[in-house]
Amino acid sequence: MTSGFKILLALLSLTLILFLPGCASRGEINQLRLGVWAAEQDLWDEAIFRWQKALEKEPNSAYLYNNLAVAYEKKGLWDKAKEAYETALKLAPDHKYIKANYKSFQDHLKAWKQPEKKEGEKKEEGEKKKDNQRDSPRVSGRSSLD
């Protein structure tokens, strides 16, 4: 798929989401989908806003807390990310993607906080990503664990 087609598809999806007739639950799903769309576009502030709005209606959604944690992590808000991951895990302690995201977050944070190696020592490839980057954690388009 070309990038132009992906952008067109994303805009079409956003248009459909905005103009679908809504009830309360449809509004929550729209907030979730808009948050996912924003995350796909690297619009992390918008994603955070949308997922926080969705949490107002569905405060026990592990998926929404996971998504918020991912967004906070992308923004470098480590304490908020940790808190959101921990809340997600309390709500869904056995969920494999949330557990994997949290473990990856912890590993990344630990590596990021380690002091740089002495000059002359060669870093192993992939040991430390540049500018707080790591392999992307999973964002979910679902709001509940059903």
SS3 assignment, position 74:
helix
Kindly report the pTM of this predicted structure: 0.65
Structure confidence by residue, pLDDT tens digits, 92-120: 999 999 999 999 999 988 888 776 554 44
What are the backbone angles phi and psi of residue 19, rounded to the nearest 5°? -105, 5
CATH classification code of 21-113 = 1.25.40.10
Contact 2, 26 (CB under 8 A): no
Structure confidence by residue, pLDDT tens digits, 8-43: 455 445 444 444 444 345 556 789 999 999 999 999
Say how far apart CA 6 and CA 90 lie, in whole Å. 36
Say how far apart CA 12 and CA 27 lie, in whole Å. 18
For the chain, what are the domain ranges? 21-113
